[in-house]
Structures are given as C-alpha cells and as structure tokens.
A and B are shown apart, each in its own frame.
Chain A
Amino acid sequence: MAQDQETGPRTEAEGALEPVAAGQGAETLHTETGAAYKAEDGGGTFPPFDPSTYPSQLLWLAITFGLLYYLMSKVALPRISDILEVRRDRIADDIAEAERLKRETDDAIAAYEQALAEAKSKAHAIAQDTRKSIGTEIEEKRKAIDAENAEKMAEAEKRIDATRETALENVSEIAVDATQAIVKQLIGGRTAKKDIEAAVSSALRG
C-alpha cells in the first residue's frame, strides 16, 4: 500500500530532475573546471563535467534505478520482511509455548508437593493410629497377664499357706512326739498326751 503511494511522486520526480541536471546546474560547472583541465592536458574535457555524456548517463540511471526500485519494493524487500516476520512469529510462539510448559511444570510441582504433604500427614495419622491401637492392645494384654499373674500368685499363696499349715501341723505333731519321748527319758513313766499337746502348742505360740 505504502509502496504504491510512493511510486507516484518518485516517477514524477525522476522526470523533473533530468532537464535540471542535464541543463544549467552541471553545465556551468563544466565551463570552469573543464576548460582548465583542457588547457593543462590538451585533450578532452574533464570527464565528469562533459555534458555530452549526460543524456546517456541519466537515461541509464533512470532505467537501472527505476528497475532496482521496482525489484526492491516488489520482490526483495517483501521477501526479507517475510523471513523476518516468520522468524519473529516463530520466536514469539516458541516463547509462549515455553511459558505454557513452564506453567504446566509449576502446576505439576505444586500438585506433587501438595500430594506429598497430604501423604505425609496421612502417614503421620496412620502411624499415630497404629501406635495408639498397638498401645491399647499391649495395655490389654498386659492387664490380662497381670490379672492372670495375680490369680496365679493368689493361688500359689493359698497353696503356700496350706503347705505351711500342714507343715506346722506336722511340726506340732513331731514336737509332741519328741516331747513325749524326752519326757519319758527324763522322768520316765507315762505322761498324758493331752498335757504334752497343750504344752507344745503354748510353746509354739509363745
């Protein structure tokens, strides 16, 4: 669009400048320097100030520069700007994609960390529960064992008591027998068994 607008003034400009350049401006320059050079060297004018070459140069300049302008504006520059545009788009796309991926990664990391925290707290709770249940179980078992032990102990004590009782009974019997024998040896005769028993039991108690 911009190029089309440009073409108008440019071609007009080119048409306008030719008479100016070929006409007065450069020709006045020629008469001074060209003459000096001619006088010095003897052959030809100083080439850049030789107006007879101007029409050809201007014609070829108009043709070549016009062609160059056309080729640049229609072919070469759109092509390069296309390449640059594609690259800019591609880079922008890639950056957007990278950003998206980074966001996804961040989300994934956050999710992972949350899951990790949840798992940790769950594990903690499970451990707590287990510890508690094991504790009560142990306690129960301990109580049961304690009760059993107490029972057994009571039983044993009873048994010990019984045994001691029997033992004591045996002891008084043995003591009566021994006393009877001793008394017999010492005083002779027979002593009433009842008296001995009473004596022994009082001695044992005392």
Chain B
Amino acid sequence: MAIDPIKQFEIKEILSLGEIGGADIALTNSGLFMILTTAAVTAFLMLATSGRTLVPSRWQSIAELCYEFVAKMLRDAAGTEGMRFFPFVFSLFMFVLFANLFGMFPYFFTVTSHIVVTFALAMLVISTVIIYGCMKHGFGFLKLFAPEGVPAPILPMVVVIEVISFLSRPVSLSVRLFANMLAGHITLKVFASFVVSMSALGFAGWLGAILPLTMTVAMTALEFLVSFLQAYVFAVLTCMYLNDALHPSH
C-alpha cells in the first residue's frame, strides 16, 4: 500500500545544530511545530487583546473566554491559592490545545503525538507538584499517601495503593494524550487511504468509497472534539494534582 499511516509521525531533520553530549541536536519538524504553536498562541492572545476594549471584540472575547475558562477550572479544583499556578496551567492548556489543533491541518505535524513530548509535560506537572508540595509542607506532604479517617489495620494497604496511583499519574497523563492523538490520526489516515485506493478501482469503487469518505468527515469532526477534550483533560488533571500539592491532607 502506498499510503503509510505511520509516516505522518516521522521526525524529519530540517537543520542540524550539531552534537551535545553524543546526542544529535537539530531543528526538526517537531521543533518547528512547537515554535509555531508557541508563536500562534502568543500571536493570538496579543492580537486579540491589542484593542483592550471595554466591550470586547469577537477575538478579544475568545481570548477572555480562554482566560476565564482556565481560571475557573483551576479555582474550582485548587482554590484561590492555586491561582499562583495559573500561568503554568494556562500555558499547558494552550500549548496542548494549539499543538492538537495544528495536527488537524493536513500535512502538519502533531507535536503531541510523540510520547516523549507528552511525557515531558506530564513530568513537568508532577515535578512541580512534588517540589512545590515539599517546599510548602515539608514532610507534611507525605500525608498525601495516608488519607485521614482510614482505620489503622488497612492503612498500609491504602498507602501502597496511594503511592502506586501517584506514580502512575505521569504515565496515565502522558499516555492518554499521546495515545489519543496517535490513534486518532492513524484512524483518519487509514479511512482516508481507503477512499483513495477504492476510488482507483473504477465506478464500483467510487460508490464503495462513499462509506469511508463519510467516516473520514465524521472522524475529522470527532478529532477536533478530541483535540479540545484532551487539552482540557490534561489541564484539569494538572489542576487536581496541583491541588494535592497545595492541600496534601485531602
């Protein structure tokens, strides 16, 4: 088959920047799209709010909507104290959202379809939780693993479960985003390639191609939803984990 659904995830070198500690460092398509994502988020927010109007324009309302959406999410999950992490959560949400949406353009590279990127972001979140939690509460942070009101006999078991669930957080956080984006794009590509290969078979193929074509269109809509939803889920979970750092004794 001519169309390889995996090919879209290939990292291509654009500009080699040499070697650091035995590792090749280069500007790749992934790096390029990270730059584009950052540039797009920044440009969008700056241009949208350049008017600074009292009665917002359409673009400004969207920017304000993003702001208030994330702010409410964080305040609901982690309280007013959590607002110190607002720039962090907002950056994460916008970065993941824009990276996901960029992936929806044909021929564009999806930054979040690489486990290393999502895992790095997840580790960033968890490290922030651990470092901030330890800084603020010291050993009190360990209360996170021993919920109050648990009878002493089963406490060791609960602690083990809590530790495992804490350790699995970065994995679940990163794999959820990565797998969703990867699977969505592969599915789209497979259905779209059916359309191409079937329509090459003549009239009967054309008729037969209607079904995968419909599927592709429907999947595209679904993928837009997934793009937003995964960014939202990522941000919401970040908020909840940050809440643990702020209030370990839940």
Q: Which residues of B contact A57 (CB under 8 A)?
A: 11, 28, 30-31, 114, 116-117
Contact assessment for B38 and A21 in the assembled complex, using a CB-CB cutoff below 8 Å: no
Spot the interface stretch: B124-132, B194-202, B219-227. Answer: B124-132
Spot the interface stretch: B45-53, B144-152, B154-162, B231-239. Answer: B45-53
Question: Given the known A-B contacts A57-B114, A72-B91, are A13 and B124 also in contact in the complex, defined by CB atoms under 8 Å?
Answer: yes
Residues of B contacting A: mostly: helix
> Chain B contact residues (Cβ within 8 angstroms of A): what range?
35 or more
The tally of residues in A whose CB lies under 8 Å from a CB in B reads 57
Contact assessment for A26 and B119 in the assembled complex, using a CB-CB cutoff below 8 Å: yes
Contact assessment for A17 and B127 in the assembled complex, using a CB-CB cutoff below 8 Å: yes
Contact assessment for A13 and B131 in the assembled complex, using a CB-CB cutoff below 8 Å: yes
Q: Which residues of A contact B119 (CB under 8 A)?
A: 21, 25-26
Is A135 an interface residue, CB under 8 A from the partner?
A: no
Contact assessment for A14 and B124 in the assembled complex, using a CB-CB cutoff below 8 Å: yes
Binary contact track B163-183/A, C-beta < 8 Å → 1, others 0? 000000000000000100010
Binary contact track A1-33/B, C-beta < 8 Å → 1, others 0? 011011001101110111011100110010000
Residues of A contacting B: mostly: helix
**Nearest residue, chain B, Cβ from A53:** B11
What is the distance, in angstroms, from B218's C-beta to the closest C-beta of chain A?
Answer: 25
Is B58 an interface residue, CB under 8 A from the partner?
A: no
Contact assessment for B10 and A47 in the assembled complex, using a CB-CB cutoff below 8 Å: yes
Identify which of A2, A10, A47, A54 contacts B128 (C-beta below 8 A). Answer: A10
Pairs across A and B, CB under 8 Å, 8 listed: A9-B135, A48-B114, A53-B114, A54-B23, A60-B34, A67-B38, A72-B45, A79-B49
